[in-house]
Structure 1
């Protein structure tokens, strides 16, 4: 067992893990942050996206020991300080960017990374960026619309699907 320490959503956290423990498992099982979903364990679906040192990563393909000393942000840390939804979460709600919700944490975390790097992405750029996130319920249209709305762009002319 190896002790890992990291800052998760602004709080110092630690735990003992085996070398093969994935970051997603550590977050869910040890830290009880179950918003990070595990959908495939093969880096295909994107439901486990978190931010490590400011970069979006798929937590099912990173060992917890690799995040030792890192700053980790999960979906649980995305709300505003008063507990209200942040602009991306609110846009997902307002524009029906979720259905069953399983992929939503990974989509929101990916969207946050995209908007950090590209504050006003085009529809094509959003679709390209989400290439590693799978949603089995929607056609991505409302997810893309929500992300563009969160960026402050006018999406009123985009028809609902």
Structure 2
């Protein structure tokens, strides 16, 4: 039957606990145990990026990470990116405005990769965008619109930060 592991993970701001098999990967735990099906499973080898989640704010491939490894961590899935009332985040809005999605399979991973870029790098440039989305494969939309969405999300985040700074003064 295999050994079982108790775990406690903060998922999208809520502490979630569970008991999982030692072999359960994080993607399956999120999808099957927590019913967060926005985390897509594509290649199951960590290559395509469809399963990307944010682990303590950094992009992580949930298909090649064991759920037990995430014990005590904070996870953000695509379900946790938007606002409490279901409104879209700035990154999600940028993807819509730029037509940076088509079939939607890669979109959750792409959005989370760009979200990590926007949150983590003060003034991202084109190389930072390439690095951020480089581990995610899109077979429908193409990367022109996705890069455009990333630039738009960065621009909006910078304006928002400037407005916050101005308001604080």
CA separation in 2, counterparts of 1:67 and 1:46? 18
Structure 2 gap segments, 5+ residues each:
157-169
How much does 1:33 deviate?
A: 0.2
> Secondary structure, in 3 states, of the residue corresponding to 1:41?
coil
**Aligned to 1:36, which of 22, 36, 39?**
39
Map Cα deviations across residues 30-62 of structure 1 (whole Å, 9 max, x no partner). 000000000011010001111111221110111
Q: Does 1:69 align with 2:53?
A: no
Contact 1:46-1:134 within 8 A present in 2 as well: yes
**Aligned to 1:86, which of 86, 89, 92?**
89
**Deviates further, 111-120 or 72-81:** 111-120
CA separation in 1, counterparts of 2:85 and 2:34? 22
How much does 1:125 deviate?
A: 2.6
Contact 2:117-2:128 within 8 A present in 1 as well: no
Structure 1 gap segments, 5+ residues each:
154-161
Mark the structure with the bigger radius of gyration: 2
- Root-mean-square deviation (CA, aligned residues, Å) is 1.2
**Number of residue pairs matched?**
153
Partner of 2:58: 55
Q: 1:114 to 1:79 in 2, by over 3 A?
A: same
**Aligned to 2:118, which of 100, 115, 120?**
115
**Aligned to 2:9, which of 6, 11, 23?**
6
Map Cα deviations across residues 121-160 of structure 1 (whole Å, 9 max, x no partner). 223331232111000112200001001101116xxxxxxx
CA separation in 2, counterparts of 1:132 and 1:6? 25
